[in-house]
Chains A and B, each alone.
Chain A
Amino acid sequence: QQQVKQSPQSLIVQKGGISIINCAYENTAFDYFPWYQQFPGKGPALLIAIRPDVSEKKEGRFTISFNKSAKQFSLHIMDSQPGDSATYFCAASIIGSARQLTFGSGTQLTVLP
């Protein structure tokens, strides 16, 4: 019940296209859903996060869509750029839990020039 399932495992998008990564969770106690971006040789960096009381959050070209009833959330990258090529991890946590994050399995995004 602690799992977060992420798809696809890998994604190739043309420059200027839209990248979409999906995640699903089971534990309804989760109340914080961040996305992390990780470049090769670097640690993960927080990209954008959402709480379940909103259905969408946008920051620049990055948007999280959240469907509480379906227990799903997704990351949309608009106008994808080669510099966006990285591994993206969705995650979920229960605010107040010291264990913090349950990560998805990751999506390796490649944006072709």
Chain B
Amino acid sequence: DTEVTQTPKHLVMGMTNKKSLKCEQHMGHRAMYWYKQKAKKPPELMFVYSYEKLSINESVPSRFSPECPNSSLLNLHLHALQPEDSALYLCASSPYRGRGTGELFFGEGSRLTVL
């Protein structure tokens, strides 16, 4: 079982809805990530949080809004999404002792469908 827990597993929303994806890890990792994955494609980095501070935003549209309330939790707030935003959204975490190592631990993802 993965130690990164994502909820919900499935989400269907209309283009005018506001929803949130949640991620939780209890491994003491201080770096957390959001990735987007389309079918048959590799994950694409969206955001990186290091020590609860946003360190990387890969030019993601503002309709996606990340939040890191504490070192164990990561949220992705969704508003006014487009059908092309339908994808698997993956949360990941990694140990961060001042240097990233590439050892990412992924959750099982939230499958988002935008109607």
Contact = CB atoms under 8 A, between A and B. Distances in A.
Contacts of A41: 108-109, 111
Contact of A108 (B40, B45, B105): B40
B5 to A, nearest CB: 11
Interface stretch (B11-19, B62-70, B75-83, B93-101): B93-101
B42 A98 contact: no
B42 A106 contact: yes
Contacts of A93: 100-102
Assign chain A's interface to a size class: 20 to 34
B24 to A, nearest CB: 14
A97 to B, nearest CB: 6
B103 A34 contact: yes
Given A100-B48, A100-B94, A42 B109 contact: yes
Which of A49, A87, A100 has the most B CB atoms < 10 Å from its CB? A100
A62 interface: no
Given A100-B94, A105-B41, A95 B108 contact: no
Given A89-B42, A103-B43, A98 B50 contact: yes
Given A44-B43, A104-B42, A106-B42, A32 B56 contact: no
Interface of B: 2, 4, 31, 33, 40-43, 45, 48, 50, 55-56, 90, 92, 94, 99-109, 111
